[in-house]
Structure 1
C-alpha cells in the first residue's frame, strides 16, 4: 500500500483547542461512534507534573481514531489525554497512579495534589452524565441503538524495528463483546463483523476476530450495557495501528482513509439489522 502522508493526501487531521473536553455531533441514526482515547491535550498544571514525553503519551493514546469515525452522524470525541483522566476506566481507576495501571510507565513526578485529581475526576463524572443523557435521546428516537466504541492498539511494543506481534494474537480489527449479552445482540454483532470482513480494503480483506487481543472490558461499554440493558449494544472496535507508525506518530493517509470508508459502510448494515431484529 502506498504510504502517503496526511498532507500529501490533503487530509485534515486538525484537532480542537486544548481547552475542550470533548466534541459531539448528533444526527438521525441509531448508530453512535466514540473515540474516547483520541485526545492528547492536558491542562498545564497536569502537564507540569507528568514525567512522560509527548511521544510516550502518544504511543499509548489512540490518535486518528477521531478521523476514522468522522462520517458517523452521532459521534463523540474526547480531547483530553487518557493520562490526565481515562474515561474508559471506572472512576476509582481513571487516574494512573501506579505503573501497573499504565503499561509499566511511571507517569507522575510526585504525588498528585487533591485539587488536580478532583478536577480530573469531575470531567469523568460529567462525561458519563452527558453520555447517559445523549444515549437516552437516541433511545427515544430509535428505540434501540449501537455504539461503536472505537480504539486502536500497538503491535510493535518492543521497539520501532522489532518484529510485530504474532498474527494469531493481533487481528487487524479486534471486536470486543465481553460485557454484552452476546446471544441477544448476535444479529447486530455478526452483521457488523461480516460487513468489516467483506469490505474491499486496499491490499486485501482485513483480519477481523472477536475477543483476541482485547475483550471489550472497558468501562464505557459496561456502563452502556448496565444502563441500557434492553436497548443499547456497545461494540468495542480495536484497530491495530496499521494506519500509522506507532513509534513516531506518523499517519498513513491512504490506510486511514480506507478505514474511514469502511466504518461508514457499516452504518446502513447496522441500522437495517436493528430494524429487522425488533
Structure 2
C-alpha cells in the first residue's frame, strides 16, 4: 500500500504542466489536479487553500500514472481553468465558481493577460502532442479525467442521490457518438466489470455531467475523425471532499482500473475502420 507522500504529485511551483509521451495511442489528462497559484495572485484571492482544494480535482493525476501518455496541469483552476473557453477561463463572477466570490477586487489587466496566455500555450502544446499520436497511430483516445463533489451541503450531509451521481460518469456530448461507439462502449464495460470492495463499479453516461468541457470540444473540433475524447468524472468516494483526506485503498483501486482499461482501448482503436 503506498503512503500519502507516494500519491501526491509535488511539482515545482513554477511548472505549468508535465507531459509524458510513450508508446500508446491512449493519453490521459488531469487538468484540474493542480493547486499552485502565481505569487502575484496570492494577495488578491479570497479563498484559502482548503476552499480551493474542495473544487479542484486532487489525486486525479494518480489515476493516470500508469498510462504511457499523460498530461498533468499544475496550476490551480482558480488561476486559469483549462477546461473552459477563454471567456470563462477566469472566475470573475460567483456564478462561474459554484457561488464563490474568488477575487477581492478586479484583477489587473496583466494578471488576466498572463492567465490567458497560459490557456493558449496549453492548447498549443496539446495539439502538438495529439498530432504526434495521430501521425503514429492514425487515431487516439484521450481520457479527460476529473472528479466531482457529492456532499455539497456539508461534511455531515447526505450524499447526492445515486440516481444522479454515478461512481463514474462518462461525458460524450461533443463527440460523434456513432463513430466512437465501439470505443465508448468497450471502455464502459471494462470499467463496469471492475470490482472494488465486492461491488462492480457504477458507470453511466451523461448523467451528472455531459462532457461539455473545452478540452473534449477542442479535440473533437480539431481531430473529428481521429480523436475520441471522453470526459471521465470520478465521484469523490476516494477521499473526504471536506477535509481532503484520501482513501488510499480506493485510490489504488481507481488507478488499477484505469490501467486495466488501456489494452481494451488500444485493441478497440485498432479494430476501427
1:128 is aligned to 123
Contact 1:147 1:233 in 2 (8 A): yes
Contact 2:17 2:75 in 1 (8 A): yes
1:78 is aligned to 73
1:22 is aligned to 17
**Cα displacement string for residues 28-81 of structure 1 (whole angstroms, at most 9, x for unaligned residues):** 001000000000000111121000011110000000000010000000000000
Q: Does 1:145 align with 2:156?
A: no
1:248 is aligned to 243
Contact 2:7 2:59 in 1 (8 A): no
Provide structure 1 residue ranges, at least 5 long, that are not aligned to the other structure. Answer: none
Looking at structure 2, the residues matched to 38 and 197 of structure 1 have their Cα atoms a distance apart, in angstroms, of 24
Secondary structure of 2:127's match? helix
**Cα displacement string for residues 131-161 of structure 1 (whole angstroms, at most 9, x for unaligned residues):** 0011000000000000000000000000000
Contact 1:51 1:108 in 2 (8 A): yes
1:198 is aligned to 193
Provide structure 2 residue ranges, at least 5 long, that are not aligned to the other structure. Answer: none
TM-score, normalised relative to structure 1: 0.96
1:231 pairs with 226, 232, 239, which one? 226
2:269 pairs with 263, 274, 277, which one? 274
1:49 pairs with 44, 53, 76, which one? 44
Which runs of structure 2 are paired with 1:152-191 in the superposition (5 Å)?
Answer: 152-191=147-186
Shift of 1:18: 1.0
Contact 2:148 2:234 in 1 (8 A): yes
Moved over 6 A (4+): none
**Cα displacement string for residues 63-122 of structure 1 (whole angstroms, at most 9, x for unaligned residues):** 000001000000000000000000100011100000000000000000100010111111
1:59 pairs with 47, 54, 65, which one? 54
RMSD: 1.1
Looking at structure 2, the residues matched to 5 and 191 of structure 1 have their Cα atoms a distance apart, in angstroms, of 30
2:211 is aligned to 216
Looking at structure 1, the residues matched to 55 and 209 of structure 2 have their Cα atoms a distance apart, in angstroms, of 15
**Cα displacement string for residues 159-189 of structure 1 (whole angstroms, at most 9, x for unaligned residues):** 0000000000100000000000101100000
1:107 pairs with 102, 105, 108, which one? 102
Looking at structure 2, the residues matched to 185 and 56 of structure 1 have their Cα atoms a distance apart, in angstroms, of 38
**Cα displacement string for residues 238-269 of structure 1 (whole angstroms, at most 9, x for unaligned residues):** 00000000000011100000000000000000
